[in-house]
Amino acid sequence: MKKSERISPEEGEGTITREGAEQGLKGEGDYLDLRPRRLPDYIGQKQVVETLEIAIQAAKKRGEPLDHVLFHSPPGLGKTTLAHIIAEEMGVHIVTTSGPAIEKGGDLISILTHLEWGDVLFIDEVHRLPKVVEEFLYPAMEDFCIDFIFDKGAHARSHRYKLERFTLVGATTRAGLLSAPLRERFGILRTLDFYSVEELAQVVRRSAAIMKVPIDEEGTFEIAKRSRGTPRISNRLLKRVRDFAEIRGQGEINRRIADEALRLEGVDEMGLTSLDRRFLETVIRYYRGGPVGLEAIAATLQEEADTLVDMIEPFLLKIGYIARMQNGRRATELAYQHFDLPYHESGRQLTLPTHKKDK
């Protein structure tokens, strides 16, 4: 396996100049992979990184594969990146797949039997594995073997096939949907938290250097604070602001350019998108601030409930705009303030306009 070159983020540098950005990082090719490849380059999640660093060093010292690892977090916080970093740090190959892609037990058996000693098998959305496939994973994770059943009825025979020892890295956005037997077979379980603005600013600086985009300190923080605590969104917004700066500006990103570009993208000063605002306005205006059931909100917005749970709710809960009650979701006072609306705990301050019937 070809080793990745280490990419060190700039530390202590508040501004990336045009000259510095043009020097950039060489040899990246036409496609710029913004993901860090080694643990020292990974930004944020300090406790998770420290745990992995200790576990990896201990496993390498003993000459053993790493324990199975389960990462849980909302999308975009670095689960896939950490899986690739684990493989890179252990010096092994990685095989990636996802829960919905493995439909039959034979699909999983084919993957497992081709793994070499110490390889990393990364399964994204592991909670969506079919039950029959999950049953094959139990002995594979615990005893590194698979049980085959030949023939049927009275002629049925069982054969146990020995696998090479491997490391399973699972990623999920819905840890509560994992079955207890599967969850308990992971040796390392870690939850990734949303990033702070300062950590996202480091992500933006590093990505800007790789992309050779000149950006100042104010522009960096303008993008960071609108990134919803998520590095993936930071990188996406940086690319859109870069395009705006090249066409509508002089190619350099500052606070004004970032603000104009992000407003054009529909991202406000708190990082709320149009769907976020529609979600909040639905709760406030149509359902008098709540509490209201998620299915009712999804029906009003004509969106899937899973989309709201995975993409919208985590950030709104984090910033305190939505409270999850026993009987539904309720908009908080902060949400009313964001829309400059009066707040009353009774939840009856807003009503839909009504038309008087003609007598």
Residues with active-site annotation = 79-80, 124, 173, 232
Helix axes 255-264, 231-248, angle to 10 degrees: 100
Helix axes 274-281, 294-301, angle to 10 degrees: 120
Q: β-pairing, 157-162 with 145-150? A: antiparallel
- Would you state the torsion angle of the CA atoms of residues 31, 32, 38, 40, taken in this order, to the nearest 10 degrees? 170
The strand pairing partners of 158, in sequence order, are 149
Q: Are 191 and 73 in contact (CB under 8 A)?
A: yes
Note the Cα 199 to chain centre separation in Å: 15
Q: Could you give the CA distance from residue 189 to residue 186 in angstroms, rounded to a whole number?
A: 7
Instruction: Could you list the beta-strand ranges (E) of the chain.
Output: 69-72, 94-98, 120-124, 145-150, 157-162, 167-172, 188-191, 322-325, 328-331
Q: Which of 30, 41, 44 is nearest to 7 (CA)?
A: 41
Q: β-pairing, 328-331 with 94-98? A: unpaired
Q: Which of 292, 339, 286, 340 is nearest to 313 (CA)?
A: 292
